[in-house]
Amino acid sequence: MESNKKYWKGLEELNKTPEFVELNKHEFAEPIPIEEVLSGNGLAGTTPRRNFLKTVGFGIGAVSLAACSKVPVHKSIPYLIKPEEVTPGIANFYVSSYDGQAILVKTREGRPIKIEGNPNDLFGKGGVSAQVQASVLDLYDTSRLKGPMQDGGDTAWSALDSFVKNELVAIKASGKKICLVTSTINSPSTLGAIDAFVAQYPATKHITYDAVSYTGIIQANQNSFGKAVLPHYRIDRADLVVSFGADFLGSWISAAEFTRQFASRRNEKAIKSGKMLRLIQFESGLSLTGSNADVRIPVKVSQEGLALVNLYNVISGNTLPGSKKLGNNVADNAIILAGKELVAAKGRALVVSGSNDVATQVLVNAINSLLGSYGTTIDLDNPSYQYKGNDADIIALVEEVKRGEVGAVMFLGSNPVYNYYQSSAFEDALKKVRLRVSFSGYNDETAANCNIVAPNHHYLESWGDENAVEGYYTIVQPTINPVYDTRQAEQSLLIWADNAVKDYYTFVRNTWNTNILAKGGLTGQNGWETVLQTGFIEVAEKPVSPVVFNRDLNGVAQTILGYGNKITATEGKLELQVYENNTIGNGKYANNPWLQELPEPVSKVTWDNFAAIAPKTAEEMKLEEGDLIKITANGYSTELPVLLQPGQAQGTLSVALGYGRSKAGKVGDAVGKNAYPFLVLTNGTFQGNAVAGIEKLGGDKIEFAQTQTHHSYEGRDVVRETTLQEYLKKPEHEGHEKKETYDLWAEYDRPQYNWVMAVDLNACTGCGACVVACNAENNIPVVGRDEVRRRREMHWIRIDRYYSFDEKGKTVTEEKEISKLEDLDHVSVTFQPMLCQHCDHAPCETVCPVLATTHSSEGLNQMTYNRCVGTRYCANNCPYKVRRFNWFNYWNDSRFENYIQNEHTELVLNPDVTTRFRGVMEKCSMCAQRIQAGKLNAKLEKRPLADGDIKVACQQTCPANAIIFGNANDPKSEVSLALKSERTYYVLEELNVKPGIGYQAKVRNRLPTEA
């Protein structure tokens, strides 16, 4: 299994920089100066601060009332008279929906504390993304608006309603337009409420504007097939996927769904059958999808379109005008091989592109038509409604406003003053509008420019529904009464429209009673109650109708190649690509500290965005990591630090969207820089590519809060991989035989349970959802940028990212210094979840002087927090570096007044898990509270504990099913079967610590001509 391969986490480790070598001489990041201990300060030269989440405003009073009452309460009442559905100490679960994905909301004493995936959900089958997991924290954010506002001041709902209705009547009489600008809405009830508003004010125009646009795909399908839809892609039906910059495992369209589909075709069954899905990725910046590709080819931004043209030529046997080679032998050869493989996989193939260019997507349609993908891997008859934005409509709105044709603009789920490509122009135009209404729950950039703010509920306080894919309807129901004096936007629209039904719950009920329940074979009150228990209705898919692609591609090719020439950088400049990452996304989640502190999967940077540049390009431009540069493109300039990124195409740089917020809240304000103004309107759609000028600025280097090399193994063998071809020849590689182990102590007696875990590296995509799920389940604190810089992040599970040299660079060995930085263009990436291994010979247990860490009779390594005196001997002795030390009382130390969170955040804490305090070690407990709950539930039901009754938090949220937990004493359990795989190995098993977590080696499905 390629045992001679070298793995490294970052360039500093690869090159053994003096700083890296010196840092790793010390077991801990750095000693804490005694004067800081005595003063209570965490950082020299800073003011004292409180718990990180507390200062930034995450929130007891308002929430307590909301959690305990069925109606608003204005006096204290004893909890002896409790709500019928609430039992102290017992969790309730409610079905709901987030962005069309069916979820379960766990509540304790009336307060939501955890999001779980609905096991029967169409998209994730129980798995959800990091954003979904983190969404519960936003409910307790004290940056949310506390009530309605008019002209920047507080007002009452009655006064606001009266004012808005009078204004709307006057605008209607004047003949001017009313524009409702929303992000994509797929809710039947919300669309019904909008229709009711339009019926009252016929001059209303509904404009759908998405910060990250998919107009190119939608318009291309209209041009190609007469269907203006976003397809429902079925990666699980493909044997081969070729992607051009589409990060479908990260942020493209429906990542959790695609991750589940992708992993289902790369599991043990697929590997042993020899029919494992192959992924080939052509891209500029190293994405999460590119990191998981079997073959990844870095190409310049300007060459992606040309590469698609050449791929079409290979598949069709024709030559489009203007075609030429890329001038990159590796890429040119890969295109030929990919074309041949696609033809061989006809009917089971898929080509996708992340471009928002209509012509590019039309060419992709032509390729997929030749491959017979429509009706198999692409479904146009049961399309996705997750993105419906139209770039032309928002452009037209700005022009209409400038001409004085618009009397009112309302914003729901949209924030164009921040994320419009010409935000300052939009802000200036907005001043000409008489009535400006925002439904934002925050006083965000757009709301700050509105004279009316009618704050919407958080979705956990709301009634509603969603229809993210044709035939799939999910329900949204409140799990807590409104924390603040907010109101659903739909109810505001109904009130202002003088609709007969003004109560939105009743409106939703009517929608389901008349339109949706019957589709699921349900009726009346019983049907409604059934939906509130199951969470969704799924209708049988519509039959596939044949599609015929019949367009002249000569003009399409000329448009694509012309655009490529336009963004080709001249000497001294770089080709810029802006992209959406899968931590804070498009900026909507910028005020969520769980997501800000989640390491970005590839770079492992937290609390910032950056300019990612290839090491070779940086050398040519005399740039080093951390240098501050000024980037100028499309008439906009900003300053960002340089990150040297292996795998980045030479001559390019990549910058993440979603940062640089000015009115996100205490967490998100002034974190990173705004990259939306780099977008440009080209060929009718917003494009994220440009030619950028680069200017190196003086001053000190910027230190990233980057976690990639915080935990070193000193070159030990921890990652194992092979190719599918080699695995089928010989499943067990002679270099990786099981190591002989010895019993140093009497064997533990585990008469009933022996809890173990299996982690499949072939399924794990590195998305980080498990990290946030663990945060929520186990009360793990956020520590902030400066503490992360000191290697003090508290995550119990981390996703280690390893680079290794791909075929082009595999001759580079550990002894040979890298002489060609070009070798860093072609790297393979492997992700490895790392958590406490719960070793049977746990080295932490033998050195603890107070028996704070001990071994249970069920195979778990336990922590007794009130015994721990903080010697850190256990962390020193742990070869996996998975123990965390509380340098401060991150949750509730009163000396940290300016640190981040506020008292409301304590309401998101899981009461089944002890919050840790200063001077105490902590680490993964294998969700001991879930184990106990599972055993108790089985006991109450008077039955044996069944396999699958207990799912730990990281396992439960993983869309790829990469983590399996269970009882090794049950030979038929899923985990026992997984650990019997020939791919199973144990990290550092040569140390004889007998870890309780087995890993399955990664398998890459290389192209046939590759070694």
Q: What is the pLDDT of residues 585-636, one digit of tens each?
A: 999 999 999 999 999 999 999 999 999 999 999 999 999 999 999 999 999 9
Looking at the DSSP bridge assignments, the partners of residue 966 are 756
Q: What DSSP element (H or E) covers 339?
A: helix 329-344
pLDDT digit string, tens, across residues 498-507:
999 889 999 9
Q: Which of these, 215, 188, 115, 94, lies nearest to 679 by C-alpha position? A: 215
**Can you spell out the DSSP letters for 714-752?**
TT-----EEEHHHHHH-SS-GGGPPPP---SSPPPP-SS
> How much is the pLDDT for 809?
37
> How much is the pLDDT for 44?
34
162-191: average pLDDT = 95
pLDDT category of residue 85 using cuts at 50, 70 and 90: low
Task: Give the span between the Cα atoms of 690 and 287, in whole angstroms.
Answer: 19
> How much is the pLDDT for 72?
37
Taking phi over 0 as left and psi of -120 to 50 as alpha, with beta for the rest, 734 belongs to alpha
161-180: average pLDDT = 95
CB 349 within 8 A of CB 675: no
User: In 513-529, which positions are buried (b, 16+ CB within 10 angstroms) versus exposed (e)?
Assistant: beebbeebebeeeebbe
pLDDT category of residue 74 using cuts at 50, 70 and 90: very low
Out of 21-25, 232-236, 713-717, 991-995, the most confident range is 232-236
> How much is the pLDDT for 25?
55
Work out the percent of the chain whose per-residue pLDDT is above 90. 73
Q: Collect all residues with Cβ–Cβ distance below 8 Å to 101 and sequence separation of at least 6.
A: 117, 118, 121, 123, 124, 128, 132, 256, 468, 474
pLDDT category of residue 907 using cuts at 50, 70 and 90: confident
CB 407 within 8 A of CB 437: no
Q: Which of these, 826, 470, 369, lies nearest to 615 by C-alpha position? A: 826
Q: Which residue has the higher pLDDT, 293 or 24?
A: 293
175-200: average pLDDT = 96
For the cut 70, the answer to whether the pLDDT of residue 1010 exceeds it is no
Give the number of other CB atoms < 10 A from CB of residue 267: 18
> How much is the pLDDT for 774?
96
Q: Collect all residues with Cβ–Cβ distance below 8 Å to 950 and sequence separation of at least 6.
A: 927, 930, 931, 933, 934, 935, 965, 966
> How much is the pLDDT for 43?
37
Taking phi over 0 as left and psi of -120 to 50 as alpha, with beta for the rest, 329 belongs to alpha
> How much is the pLDDT for 137?
92
286-294: average pLDDT = 94
pLDDT category of residue 733 using cuts at 50, 70 and 90: low
pLDDT category of residue 736 using cuts at 50, 70 and 90: low
Sign of dihedral through CA atoms 903, 909, 914, 920?
negative
Q: Which residue has the higher pLDDT, 992 or 758?
A: 758
554-581: average pLDDT = 93
N residues, the chain = 1011
Taking phi over 0 as left and psi of -120 to 50 as alpha, with beta for the rest, 57 belongs to left
**Can you spell out the DSSP letters for 384-400?**
E-S----HHHHHHHHHH
> How much is the pLDDT for 890?
81
Residue with tokens 């007891």: 60
Looking at the DSSP bridge assignments, the partners of residue 576 are 653, 690
Q: Which residue has the higher pLDDT, 144 or 737?
A: 144
> How much is the pLDDT for 385?
96
> How much is the pLDDT for 821?
58
The chain-wide mean pLDDT, for the chain, equals: 87
Task: Give the span between the Cα atoms of 284 and 290, in whole angstroms.
Answer: 10
User: In 652-687, which positions are buried (b, 16+ CB within 10 angstroms) versus exposed (e)?
Assistant: bbbbbbbbbbebbbbbbeebbbbbbbbbbebbbbbb
> How much is the pLDDT for 47?
29
pLDDT digit string, tens, across residues 827-868:
899 999 999 999 999 999 999 999 999 999 999 999 999 999
> How much is the pLDDT for 889?
83
Q: Which residue has the higher pLDDT, 989 or 411?
A: 411
47-68: average pLDDT = 47
> How much is the pLDDT for 896?
38
Give the number of other CB atoms < 10 A from CB of residue 616: 18
pLDDT category of residue 731 using cuts at 50, 70 and 90: confident
> How much is the pLDDT for 999?
95
Task: Give the span between the Cα atoms of 1011 and 1007, in whole angstroms.
Answer: 8
